[in-house]
């Protein structure tokens, strides 16, 4: 079975460590916040100026002055801090954020990422994605392995306009966990019941498979 979006988030959450400052993008990455392992403290950064994003507010308790980068109403956790947008991207640029989780349309075997523009379609803008991918030291992409047409999103070269180059370190899809290495995509884990052959068939870029590839366990 391919992973659900929640399971992709759950798998990514296993990468979190105590004391991490983490920026979660919109979509599947946001769900990672629901699976922070117990016993560790992770501080979520929102690029509109908040460290320490808390859960969504209870009905009637939302505050229009307190939103996340997806413009959703949020709360704060004890120990949170507010700041302006320049400081927010300053801490990103300076490499203070330990982990960035983003969605993507395409990732190349070199770690290039495309996630902001499709030629011929209305372009809404890159928001903070280009700043994040240009500076983050550890980027994990959360996405489906193929697009709705069934075409691979793990490519030898991105075909869409790039958001950033040579920046993605790891990809968690509905089928697999892969690392980006000097030599291409390296398969680390399979979704339960998904064969190495199926992952290979759905990966257009170079896929390195060494030895037995373990199944993810949930």
As annotated, the active-site residues are: 47
d(CA 35, CA 57): 18
Least distance from another protein to the Cβ atom of residue 187, Å: 26
Cβ proximity to another protein: between 121 and 149 the closer is 121
107 burial (CB, 10 Å; 0-12 / 13-18 / 19+) is buried
The residues of the shown chain that bind another protein, judged by CB under 8 A, are: 46-50, 55-59, 62-68, 70-74, 82-86, 88-90, 92-93, 112, 122-131, 134-135, 161-166
Q: Which of 149, 141, 140 is nearest to 106 (CA)?
A: 141
The sign one gets for the Cα dihedral 5, 32, 81, 128 is negative
Cβ proximity to another protein: between 98 and 112 the closer is 112
Cβ proximity to another protein: between 129 and 207 the closer is 129
Least distance from another protein to the Cβ atom of residue 129, Å: 8
**Coil, strand, or helix at residue 36?**
coil
d(CA 195, CA 89): 41
Least distance from another protein to the Cβ atom of residue 210, Å: 30
């Amino acid at each position: 079975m391919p992973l659900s979006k929640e399971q992709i988030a759950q798998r990514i959450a296993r990468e979190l460590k105590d004391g991490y400052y983490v920026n979660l993008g919109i979509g599947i990455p946001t769900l990672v916040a629901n699976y922070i392992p117990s016993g560790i403290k992770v501080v979520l950064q929102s690029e509109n100026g908040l460290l320490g994003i808390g859960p969504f507010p209870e009905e009637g308790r939302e505050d229009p002055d307190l939103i996340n980068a997806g413009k959703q109403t949020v709360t704060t956790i004890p120990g949170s801090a507010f700041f302006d947008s320049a400081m927010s991207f300053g801490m990103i640029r300076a490499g203070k954020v330990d982990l960035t989780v983003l969605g993507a349309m395409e990732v190349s075997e070199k770690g290039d990422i495309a996630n902001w523009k499709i030629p011929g379609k209305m372009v809404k803008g890159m928001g903070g994605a280009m700043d994040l991918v240009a500076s983050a030291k550890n980027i994990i992409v959360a996405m489906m392995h193929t697009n709705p047409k069934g075409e691979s999103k793990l490519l030898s070269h991105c075909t869409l306009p790039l958001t950033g180059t040579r920046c993605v370190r790891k990809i968690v899809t509905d089928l697999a966990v892969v690392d980006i290495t000097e030599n291409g995509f390296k398969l680390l884990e399979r979704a339960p019941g998904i064969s190495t052959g199926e992952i290979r068939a759905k990966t257009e870029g170079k896929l390195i498979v060494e030895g037995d590839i373990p199944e993810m366990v949930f």
